[in-house]
């Protein structure tokens, strides 16, 4: 039971990432603005690029012309006023007006300035929340009621799935939009985000898509220190094809590096970032054509780097003044949403393995859901 409780604590901490914070909280004065790229030169360790991306065993079945768009659906979160220094996470749940099941092949997002991130979910909840309200991210996800579709940090972004690949939406699909805003400006701003879904006909669908969400909360960075995590590794199911990847840190992050690999010690094929250097506030989705094919024993190898220019110790947390080390990957054919962490030293010496995944362990996931819905108790 002690081992289970330790693992539970770890995942509960993870699921509180990017949580709603005190609306009157203020960012540290020496932090870079999220809307202006940092010009600080970092002594980031050299990128372990490994081999260039290869995919010789994967037939280019997803590189042909896309099917025609059938319908377009729109929704949004907003509007509310943010005073200077204010930080908040707000959510809405809204139904789309689709009468029949639909297949979504493209998602577009547009965010007003001041956005830290916006997460769009497919939800199984019954009740709409039409006006933005304070919310906790990922709580419903672990219980299976919501599945992330896109996590975006840039003002305009488009996720295009490979030809014949799509997310399946139920009739009158409920959509949850989670918007984390932080006003770094001297004047009030208006928080708002638009989401557009483009669909294809059912007869054009070959595979259903889903998401992998991987990361570690095991780091601590002293003021003035630059720190890079060890290389971590989390497996990917055999015969999975990943068509897009992105990394995520908060404002002190200077790099997220990702490889297609077989272990933490195997440099593998370097896949992220490519071309454009990583910027925490402008980390676009890297999309691959053809998709990356994963054989038995392969997975994702990653590490994160930060430079703590503040005056307080940094560790894992939900606020923009704390830090994170995550990646998310879009894949097919779907085996469901999967969330995994490398616990490292956070496990307190208990042998919980190199990776802990949900919903792989149904018992653990049920404990987490009960813990969160009980307000932190069983």
**Domain range summary for the chain, segments of one domain joined by +:** 20-339
Average pLDDT over residues 7-14: 40
Q: Specify the CATH architecture of the domain 20-339.
A: Sandwich (2.60)
pLDDT for residue 366: 57
**C-alpha–C-alpha distance, residues 68 and 163, integer Å:** 10
**C-alpha–C-alpha distance, residues 135 and 205, integer Å:** 34
Q: Which residues are within 8 A (CB) of 168 and not within 5 positions of it... i.e. 6 or more apart?
A: 101, 102, 103, 104, 208
Q: Which residues are within 8 A (CB) of 277 and not within 5 positions of it... i.e. 6 or more apart?
A: 255
Closest CA to 180 of 132, 218, 247: 132
Both tokens assigned to 194: 């638009």
Average pLDDT over residues 103-132: 92
**C-alpha–C-alpha distance, residues 106 and 195, integer Å:** 11
| pLDDT interval class at 250 (50, 70, 90) | confident
**C-alpha–C-alpha distance, residues 217 and 213, integer Å:** 13
pLDDT for residue 117: 80
**C-alpha–C-alpha distance, residues 276 and 273, integer Å:** 7
Contact, 263 vs 222, CB < 8 A? no
pTM of the predicted structure, to 2 decimals:
0.77
Greater pLDDT, 251 or 353: 251
Q: Is the pLDDT of residue 110 over 50?
A: yes
Greater pLDDT, 56 or 83: 83
> pLDDT tens digits, residue range 319-375?
667 888 999 899 999 999 888 888 887 666 666 778 888 877 666 555 544 433 443
Contact, 290 vs 61, CB < 8 A? yes
Question: CB-side exposure of 39: number of CA atoms within 13 Å?
Answer: 1
Both tokens assigned to 63: 């590189």
Average pLDDT over residues 162-178: 96
Average pLDDT over residues 161-189: 94
Instruction: Residue 72: count other Cβ atoms within 10 Å of its Cβ.
Output: 11
Query: 3-class secondary structure for the chain?
Result: CHHHHHHHHHHHHHHCCCCCCCCCCCCCCCCCCCCCCCCCCCCCCCCCCEECCCCCCCCCCCCCCCCCCCCEEEEEEEEEEECCCCEEEEEEEEECCCCCCEEEEEEEEEECCCEEEEEEEEECCCCCEEEEEECCCCHHHHHCCEEEEEEECCCEEEEECCCCEEEEECCCCEEEEEEEEECCCCCCEEEEEEEEEEEECHHHCCEECEEEEEECCCCEECCCCEEECCCEEEECCCCEEEEEEEEECCCCEEEEEEEEECCCCCCCEEEECCCCCCCHHHCCCEEEEEEEEECCCCEEEEEEEEECCCCCCEEECCCCCCECCEEEEEEECCCCCEEEECCHHHHCCCCCCCCEEECCCHHHHHHHHHHHHCCCCC
Length of the chain: 378
């Amino acid at each position: 039971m002690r081992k289970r409780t330790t693992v539970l604590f770890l995942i509960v901490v993870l699921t509180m990432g990017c949580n709603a914070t005190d609306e009157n909280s203020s960012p540290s004065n020496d932090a870079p603005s999220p809307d202006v790229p940092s010009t600080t030169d970092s002594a980031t360790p050299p990128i372990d690029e490994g081999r260039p991306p290869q995919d010789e065993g994967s037939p280019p079945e997803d590189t042909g012309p896309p099917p025609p768009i059938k319908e377009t659906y729109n929704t949004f979160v907003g509007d509310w006023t943010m005073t200077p220094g204010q930080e908040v996470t707000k959510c809405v749940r809204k139904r789309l007006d689709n009468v029949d099941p639909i297949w979504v092949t493209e998602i577009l997002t547009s965010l007003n300035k001041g956005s830290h991130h916006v997460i769009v979910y497919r939800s199984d909840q019954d009740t709409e929340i039409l006006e933005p309200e304070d919310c906790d991210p990922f709580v419903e996800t672990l219980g299976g009621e919501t599945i992330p579709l896109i996590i975006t940090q840039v003002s305009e972004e488009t996720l295009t799935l490979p030809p014949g690949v799509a997310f399946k939406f139920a009739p009158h699909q409920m959509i949850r939009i989670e918007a984390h805003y932080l006003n770094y400006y001297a004047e009030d701003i208006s928080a708002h985000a638009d989401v557009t879904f483009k669909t294809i006909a059912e007869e054009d669908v070959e595979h259903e898509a889903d998401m992998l969400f991987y990361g570690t909360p095991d780091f601590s960075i002293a003021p003035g220190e630059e720190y890079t995590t060890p290389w971590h590794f989390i497996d990917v199911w055999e015969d999975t094809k990943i068509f897009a990847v992105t990394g995520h840190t908060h404002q002190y992050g200077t790099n997220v590096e990702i490889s297609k690999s077989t272990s933490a010690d195997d440099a593998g094929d370097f896949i992220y970032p490519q071309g454009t250097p990583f910027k925490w506030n402008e980390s676009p989705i890297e999309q691959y054509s053809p998709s990356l094919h994963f054989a038995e024993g392969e997975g994702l190898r990653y590490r994160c780097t930060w430079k703590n220019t503040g005056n307080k110790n940094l560790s894992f947390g939900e606020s923009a003044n704390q830090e994170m080390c995550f990646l998310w990957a879009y894949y097919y054919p779907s085996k469901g949403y999967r969330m995994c962490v490398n616990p490292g030293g956070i496990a307190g010496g208990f042998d919980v393995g190199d990776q802990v995944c949900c919903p792989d362990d149904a018992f653990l996931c049920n404990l987490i859901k009960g813990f969160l819905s009980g307000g932190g108790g069983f």
